Structure 1
Amino acid sequence: MASSLHDAMPDRLPSLRGFKTSRVLNDGKESGVVALLGTFPGCDTESVVKLSRPPIPLGDLDGLATAVTLSERAPYSGMEYGYYHGVVASEFAPGLSVDVLYPGCLANESEEARAKLLAKHVSRNASQAPVVFRENPRAYAAAHLPYIDAIPSSAIGWVYKILNKEKELERLLFDDDDANDGFLVNTDPKWVTHPDPKATPKEQWMNHPGTRELYCLGLCHRKDVRSLRDLRAAHLPMLRAMARKGREVIKNTYGLADESLRIFVHYPPQFYHFHVHFTNVSVDHGVSAERAHLLDDVIENIERDSEHYAKCSITCRMGENDELWRRFKELDKAGA
């Protein structure tokens, strides 16, 4: 029965046609993003559909109509689920952005693996109160590390596709594939006002009005660094290069000066393969004080003490329904 269901699953979604909503995860009143849970025809694995309006690049009023016209981004490089970014007919809702997270494309994965991936995205997109937990090294070892180890390996398969140049080559800005200290920098898909990388020559990216929303991502090539907690003095050459070369590449590509660039690391990260965020300082999402750690500060901390991130306590921000928060609460109850 399961195999016949998998055979019927569409591995590509041409549109939202037939999507049936089972639950409203987030009404968008606080976040501005409406998130819906439901199913597509031919697949009983639920999917998350997000509706949002993109930012408008300032200073380019003549090109305003073009700026708010979205191009389809399907499928995304994601390997853990189908990730689609689509357009909506202007007569229905001008400028409406649609994202679909579709685990049903994983016909060869177990029901348990798909359920875990879906639960992660339901939790991430459902309306919930944020909470913080002060994680000491013992709490990391007893709760956070087992949480990381339980994440399916397929959850970061999309990262390796990017690192192996199988996906998103049009977004690639820089790559040094050295196994120890190498990394690449590409434009993050959440930067929706970026010029179409497939249709716009790179020389036209320089000083584009969309750089006000600049968002790029640095991915290290080594696979043994999953988060801030793993960083030691041996990683300083890589971290220094990411800070220096990232600034240089972004300045040479977009014209954004160093004083307008923010470089930081999330903890806990959204995915557990070490990466660095590069944003315009005007971008205000993802930079809460209890989650973002400036890369220059990270480097200085490790220069003073190679074991800094193994020994220090770190504040963690998450949602009240997150699996990580559940593990931290259980740890507290046990008095560990």
Structure 2
Amino acid sequence: MPINAAEEEAKLRKFSFTRVLNQDTKTKVVNLLGEIESTPAILIAEKTAFNITGTHLTKFSHDLHLPKVSLIDRNDIYHSFLATQNSEYGEVRLTLIFPATETHIRKYTHQELRVVVETPEIYRELVKPYVEEKRGNGRLDWVYNILEYKSEKESVIVEDTDDVEGFMLLPDLKWDRKTMASMYTMAILRRRDITSLRDLKKKHVPWLKSLGRRIAKAICEKYSGIEPDQIQIYAHYQPSYYHFHLHAVSVSHDGGLGQAAGKAFLLGNLISWLESLGGDEEVGLEDVELTYSLGGGSELWQRVFKGINGKGKAEE
């Protein structure tokens, strides 16, 4: 018997929503429980992929068929918008990076991942000089804009103004600031002497523990319905920029590679790692071997790790 499309559509339109069963913030899928004529029904809704054919993208980029666009925030070259398409269900978060550098282009281009082993010697002799180079030439201006109240000051969730132990917690530009399942915040330290987790030492343990508690407490007080054990706090290595910061996200949010092993190091594990190190209070993560992933097109891979052999020494 042939399927009657009109009848099936009429059946769908009778769906009456009861509650959300599940949602996946990475794949943009939501599972809904409801009823059709008093009989339980499940509706799975998924946002479709962008049409990436040339003609469609040309039209999109030239005309931006978006009836309503609202600015979430702007900091230096980074602009974040919420754009509404042709219906109330078509909201799209847009991030504009302008002007974009070659570094940005490499970062957002698809790359094959490489697993690298960074010994303490490789870090001190090759990676650390690279890090210091990348902290110059205004690359951290957007971070300092936040710390100096030049941008995003209306967005600050909580801050501690102490020059050594202080920090600013604010929503990440990746988050729409509405969907709690994809909650994404960032804590930026006020001190400027810690570039990455490599600079953490045993003496920092009490401060890191306090930092973790305060971040979780501030998020729970700001956003109702979220509890401390529903928050993941981690640091990236390698980070996108070399001023130490922590990401605090909803545990239900799938952040893709940003939360994957070989990229995200949980704060609790970093603290335990530091506590387990032998030696005095000055020993730290600069002295350990780290295994992590890098994009094959990244500058760090091309300049440092591509020429390193299996013995952990640069090839002659």
TM-score between the two structures when normalised by the length of structure 2: 0.70
Match of 1:216 in 2: 185
Given that 2:194 and 2:200 are in contact with CA atoms closer than 8 Å, whether structure 1 keeps it comes out as yes
Larger deviation, residues 222-231 vs 139-148: 139-148
Whichever residue aligns with residue 324 of structure 1, its letter is L
Whichever residue aligns with residue 299 of structure 2, its letter is E
Q: Given the superposition, is the C-alpha separation of residues 215 and 124 from structure 1 closer, same or farther in structure 2, using an over 3 Å criterion?
A: same
Match of 1:85 in 2: 81
Which consecutive segments of 4 or more residues in structure 1 shift more than 6 A?
32-35
Match of 1:325 in 2: 301
Tell me the distance in 2 between the aligned counterparts of 1:253 and 1:158: 24
Q: Which secondary structure state, in structure 1, belongs to the residue aligned with residue 187 of structure 2?
A: strand
Match of 2:270 in 1: 298
Match of 2:3 in 1: none
For residue 146 of structure 1, report the CA deviation from its aligned partner: 2.0
Q: Which secondary structure state, in structure 2, belongs to the residue aligned with residue 127 of structure 1?
A: coil
For residue 262 of structure 1, report the CA deviation from its aligned partner: 0.7
Identity level (%): 27
Equivalent in 266, 280, 286 of residue 310 of structure 1: 286
Name structure 2 gaps, 5 residues minimum: 1-48, 53-60, 62-67
Name structure 1 gaps, 5 residues minimum: 1-31, 36-48, 50-68, 104-116, 196-209
Match of 1:163 in 2: 147
Match of 2:162 in 1: 178
Given that 1:143 and 1:331 are in contact with CA atoms closer than 8 Å, whether structure 2 keeps it comes out as no
Match of 2:91 in 1: 95
Q: Which secondary structure state, in structure 2, belongs to the residue aligned with residue 246 of structure 1?
A: helix
Tell me whether 1:268 sits opposite 2:238 in the alignment. yes
Given that 1:70 and 1:95 are in contact with CA atoms closer than 8 Å, whether structure 2 keeps it comes out as no
Q: Given the superposition, is the C-alpha separation of residues 320 and 228 from structure 1 closer, same or farther in structure 2, using an over 3 Å criterion?
A: same
Equivalent in 105, 118, 124 of residue 107 of structure 2: 124
Tell me the distance in 2 between the aligned counterparts of 1:318 and 1:135: 11
Matched length: 242
Tell me whether 1:246 sits opposite 2:223 in the alignment. no
Q: Could you report, residue by residue, the CA deviation over 1:118-154 in whole angstroms, capped at 9, with x for unpaired residues?
A: 1111111111111110111111122211221222341
Point out the structure with max Rg over C-alpha.
2
Q: Given the superposition, is the C-alpha separation of residues 309 and 101 from structure 1 closer, same or farther in structure 2, using an over 3 Å criterion?
A: same
Q: Given the superposition, is the C-alpha separation of residues 164 and 135 from structure 1 closer, same or farther in structure 2, using an over 3 Å criterion?
A: same
Q: Given the superposition, is the C-alpha separation of residues 253 and 147 from structure 1 closer, same or farther in structure 2, using an over 3 Å criterion?
A: same
Tell me the distance in 1 between the aligned counterparts of 2:121 and 2:250: 36
Whichever residue aligns with residue 124 of structure 1, its letter is K
Given that 2:82 and 2:92 are in contact with CA atoms closer than 8 Å, whether structure 1 keeps it comes out as no
Q: Could you report, residue by residue, the CA deviation over 1:37-88 in whole angstroms, capped at 9, with x for unpaired residues?
A: xxxxxxxxxxxx9xxxxxxxxxxxxxxxxxxx762246x213xx35353636
TM-score between the two structures when normalised by the length of structure 1: 0.66
Whichever residue aligns with residue 150 of structure 1, its letter is E
Q: Could you report, residue by residue, the CA deviation over 1:157-182 in whole angstroms, capped at 9, with x for unpaired residues?
A: 11111112221122111111111111
